[in-house]
Homo-oligomer: A and B are copies of this chain.
Amino acid sequence: MNVQTIFSALSDPTRFAIVEQLLEKGDQTAGSLAEPFDISKPAISRHLKVLEEAGVIERRIDRQFRSFRVRPQSMRSLDDWIGRYRRFWQTSFDRLEKVLQDKKEEENTDADRD
């Protein structure tokens, strides 16, 4: 599961919204996914294809129903990616917080001096 590809797939506002929709409401057909948007069905269809090829969603054909759903693996990949760097950004976040705090205090002191 290529994380960079997932980012690309979610870089479009419509696709991002589609995925949020699926995450919140669960499986849905292409038609109902298209409904909230002001763009044509073919356009939605193509967005769905992009998401599918990136492995973000999958098409499910179950008897008379065809619907889409988010592939949990893709979310897990994103989660893993962020997690892999968590200690870097989290520690640097803490460190940064402190630095900014110190700096602010320092500046205030300077200001007070002036």
Q: Contact residues of A with B, CB < 8 Å?
A: 3-4, 7-8, 10-13, 16, 20, 23-24, 26, 69-70, 72-73, 75-76, 78-79, 82, 85-86, 88-90, 92-93, 96
Contact = CB atoms under 8 A, between A and B. Distances in A.
26 contacts: A3-B16, A4-B13, A4-B16, A7-B10, A7-B11, A11-B11, A20-B85, A23-B88, A23-B89, A24-B85, A24-B88, A26-B88, A26-B92, A69-B92, A70-B88, A70-B89, A70-B92, A72-B92, A72-B93, A73-B93, A75-B86, A75-B89, A76-B89, A76-B93, A78-B78, A79-B82
User: Per DSSP, are chain A's interface residues mostly helix, strand or loop, or mixed?
Assistant: helix
Query: How many copies of this chain are found per oligomer?
Result: 2
Nearest to A70: B89
